[in-house]
Amino acid sequence: MSFRTSALADSAQPPPTPHGHVLSTRAARLLGWGAAITLLCTGSPPTFAQQQGEPGQTQGSFGAPQDPGTITTPIEPGTGVTETPVTTPAQPTAKYSSETNLTGDWGGLRNKLSDEGFEMTLGYAMEFMGNPVGGESQGSTYVHNVLLELDFDLEKLINLPNSSFRIRGSQRSGNSLTNRHIGNAFSVQQLYGGGQTWRLVEVEMDHDLFDGKLNLAYGRLAATNDFLTSPLYCQFVSNAICGQPAAPFFNMPEGITAYPEATWGVRARVQPIEETYLQVGVYDGDPRQGNSNGGTNFTFGDNGVLILTEAGYKPKEGLLGLPAAYKIGGYYHTGHFNDVGKSQGGGNVFDSGEPARRHDDNAGVYTLLDQMLYREKSDDTRGLYGFFVFVAAPDEDKNTLPYFVSGGLIYEGLLESRPKDKAAFAVASGFYSNDLRDAQRDAGQRGQYAETILEVNYQVQFTQYFYVRPDVQVVIDPSGYDNIDNALVLGFEAGIVF
């Protein structure tokens, strides 16, 4: 997941010159959501065996409880590379080898360092995307992200029990297809954003206490590493889906962080029993302050704090007797936010020439549902997975996108000869504020309604450390305008872990 960037950096900018629609907006949107709903309702035959054991568990975010029965080799948000391999009792082999990493185990040194408490991850991911049809203009762009991560097991290194320390950095380059050619809101390249430069990201301490019932993390944190996320989302290239739901980044444009940006914060997670957790995080509410100077400005901002809460239930046998993850959460920001339509003098912000009226605080709630729908074998991760996302921030006077919804399907091992490949389809829609639209119309401008993204892709998993994902997206009503041609986007993403 990258930091959200959009052609809609300033809603007051006049809309582009009208064009005829290349694709029927209403038909395409209904087709996408109809397909998703139909597949979710019919893609779960009840005739397969119950699961045995805990196949497919993955590491997830730093210090996070593992998701039962999720896909293998999930992609880390924002990095475009597969997560660090995890050994299990059923897989007592060395953690690093020529099967897990391009550079192997460094002649045994890598596993020796890991056994002594030090690990290094270097990953590269790129996206090449173009829009041969639609948008404001046609073109293609390339973006990439380089991940460098250092992990220290402090129990092994300095005898500090159940404690870890992590440093992560990022280097990004390239140009946004969304900003240069399409003119839509949700970036079609999740690797773009947060500054196309070298950056220090997380500097994080992590402690497991009370036999793992309590996990504490503090330092320079990316808030959405732990909240608003799922291992399923980054099977997609669109930033509307990959990483976290997009709406909070539009509603709090300088108030919430995601890789490659981080801010001062602390997060506590309580896990009273294996399948449930409750977590709360408090973060500096002005990440701009700390993300200057390549992420090395360690001062605090001056726009309040962001508080996130989330409760989760991750049964090994949820609906249909299959693994699932059900999460509800909310956020509250104590800072100040602009009115979407009114100026400080009570006029229209689009034509008064006055700055926007300021509001105190902002808040929203969300629901995230992940569900395995079909399993080919009781001890395998091959099968069909589905997810659904709903985010609401009902105060339409200060939230650009008060409602956001997405859903998708992922089939791992659709072809028997390619058991780790993944086929994926998703749709996401963000709905613009009525207050914003009314103000635009009153100022004689075209109003914004909703932007919808359809995406289908197929990830070819050549090895555990290398994949290529051809990708097709359709952008419907870019930035919520009905006068920008719906765009067809073609391209691919690829990632490798060294």
**By the 8 A CB rule, do 222 and 272 touch?**
no
The predicted pLDDT at position 181 comes to 98
pLDDT above 70 for 104: yes
3-state secondary structure of 72: coil
Show the DSSP H helices in 307-444 as ranges: 434-442
Q: How confident is the model at residue 123 (pLDDT cuts 50, 70, 90)?
A: very high
Q: What is the pLDDT of residue 256?
A: 94
Determine the pLDDT at residue 157. 98
Average pLDDT score, the chain = 86
**Domain ranges, ordered by start, for the chain:** 25-87+95-100+201-465
**Backbone φ/ψ region at 195: left (φ over 0), alpha (ψ -120 to 50), beta:** left
Pick the more confident residue, 224 or 90.
224
Lowest mean pLDDT among 21-25, 208-212, 437-441: 21-25
Give the per-residue pLDDT at 36. Answer: 46
Average pLDDT, integer, range 463-483 = 97
User: Residue 85's pLDDT is what?
Assistant: 53
Who wins on pLDDT, 17 or 149?
149
Q: Which residue has the higher pLDDT, 484 or 6?
A: 484
What pLDDT sits at residue 80? 79
Top-level class of domain 25-87+95-100+201-465? mainly beta
Which has more confidence, 334 or 196?
334
* pLDDT for position 1: 42
Question: How confident is the model over 391-427, as pLDDT tens digits?
Answer: 999 999 999 999 999 999 999 999 999 999 999 999 9
Condensed to tens digits (0 to 9), the pLDDT of residues 205-237 reads 999 999 999 999 999 999 999 999 999 999 999
Which two structure tokens, joined as six digits, stand for 5?
A: 């960037």
Lowest mean pLDDT among 34-48, 430-444, 477-491: 34-48
- What is the spatial distance between Cα 176 and Cα 360, in angstroms, rounded to a whole number? 33
Cα 114 from Cα 152, distance rounded (Å)? 9
364 has a pLDDT exceeding 80: yes
**pLDDT for the residue 51:** 28
> Of 7-16, 322-331, 460-469, which range is least confident?
7-16
Write the pLDDT tens digit of every residue in 158-181: 999 999 999 999 999 999 999 999
pLDDT computed for residue 248 by the predictor: 97
Cα dihedral 145/331/232/34 (nearest 10): -120
Q: Name the more confident of 447 and 73.
A: 447
Q: List the structure tokens of 271.
A: 């896990």
User: What's the pLDDT score for residue 24?
Assistant: 47
What is the distance between the alpha carbons of residues 121 and 150, in angstroms, rounded to a whole number? 7
Taking CA 187 as the corner, what is the angle to CA 372 and CA 420, rounded to the nearest 5 degrees? 35
Lowest mean pLDDT among 55-69, 218-232, 244-258: 55-69
What pLDDT score does 21 carry?
41
Can you tell me the distance from the alpha carbon of 365 to that of 403, in angstroms, rounded to the nearest whole number? 10
Pick the range with the lowest mean pLDDT from 53-62, 119-128, 329-338.
53-62
CA dihedral of residues 429, 127, 484, 241 (deg, nearest 10): 0
Higher-scoring residue by pLDDT: 73, 229: 229
Are residues 259 and 281 in contact, defined by beta-carbon separation less than 8 angstroms? no
Q: What is the pLDDT of residues 281-326, one digit of tens each?
A: 999 998 776 566 888 888 888 899 999 999 999 999 989 999 999 9
pLDDT value, residue 287: 77
Task: Give pLDDT, residue 94.
Answer: 84
Task: Decide if pLDDT at 115 tops 60.
Answer: yes
Band (136; pLDDT cuts 50, 70, 90): very high
Average pLDDT over residues 487-493: 98
Residue ranges of the alpha helices (H) in 105-244? 109-116, 154-158, 177
Residue 145: predicted pLDDT: 97
